[in-house]
C-alpha cells in the first residue's frame, strides 16, 4: 500500500462549488504539505502543518483552507472553486528528523469548469 494517499485522484467540478481534497499518510510523519502544480511552473506551496495544532499559510493560500484532523490526515478545501484553481494538487509529508526529504502522494487532478 502507498505511504501517502490522496482522494479523489481526479475531479471535475463547476465554478462556485465547494470541494475537499483529502490526504492520508502511514509514514508517521509530523509534517504535511499541500502544493499545486501548473504547466510551466514549479510546485507552489499552499499550506503546511508541522503538527496537529499547527497550520501555516504558504505562498498561494488565497482561496484555500486546510484542516489537520489527525497526525495522519490533512485536507485541503476550496470554498468556492474558480477556473484558475484547475491544477494538479500534491500532498507531501516529512518528519522532524529528516525534513529535507518530502514524500509526495500520487496527486489529484482538479478541473474547475
Determine, following the binding rule CB under 8 A, whether residue 42 of this chain makes contact with other proteins: yes
Q: Given the rule CB under 8 A, which of 15-23, 44-52, 62-70, 79-87 is the region that contacts other proteins?
A: 44-52
Determine, following the binding rule CB under 8 A, whether residue 90 of this chain makes contact with other proteins: yes
Cβ atoms of residues 49 and 31 within 8 Å: yes
What is the per-residue DSSP string for 33-72? EEEEE-TTS--EEEEEEEETTEEEE-TT-TTEEEEEEETT
Cβ atoms of residues 66 and 74 within 8 Å: yes
Determine, following the binding rule CB under 8 A, whether residue 88 of this chain makes contact with other proteins: yes
Determine, following the binding rule CB under 8 A, whether residue 43 of this chain makes contact with other proteins: yes
CB of 79 to other proteins, least distance (A): 25
Taking the CB of residue 99, how many other CB atoms lie within 10 A of it?
A: 12
Determine, following the binding rule CB under 8 A, whether residue 107 of this chain makes contact with other proteins: yes
Q: Which residue in 46, 102, 110, 112 binds other proteins (CB under 8 A)?
A: 102
Quickly tell me which residue has 500532498 as its cell.
91
Cβ atoms of residues 91 and 32 within 8 Å: yes
Q: Which residue in 45, 52, 55, 72 binds other proteins (CB under 8 A)?
A: 45
Determine, following the binding rule CB under 8 A, whether residue 109 of this chain makes contact with other proteins: yes
Closest to other proteins by CB, 42 or 70: 42
Amino acid at each position: 500500500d502507498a505511504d501517502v494517499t490522496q482522494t479523489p485522484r481526479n475531479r471535475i467540478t463547476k465554478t462556485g462549488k465547494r470541494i475537499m481534497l483529502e490526504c492520508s499518510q502511514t509514514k508517521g510523519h509530523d509534517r504535511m504539505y499541500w502544493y499545486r502544480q501548473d504547466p510551466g511552473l514549479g510546485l507552489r506551496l499552499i499550506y503546511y502543518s508541522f503538527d496537529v495544532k499547527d497550520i501555516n499559510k504558504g505562498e498561494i493560500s488565497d482561496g484555500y483552507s486546510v484542516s489537520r484532523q489527525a497526525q495522519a490526515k490533512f485536507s485541503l478545501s476550496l470554498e468556492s472553486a474558480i477556473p484558475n484553481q484547475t491544477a494538479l494538487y500534491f500532498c507531501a509529508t516529512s518528519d522532524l528528523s529528516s525534513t529535507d526529504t518530502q514524500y509526495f502522494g500520487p496527486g489529484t487532478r482538479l478541473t474547475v469548469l
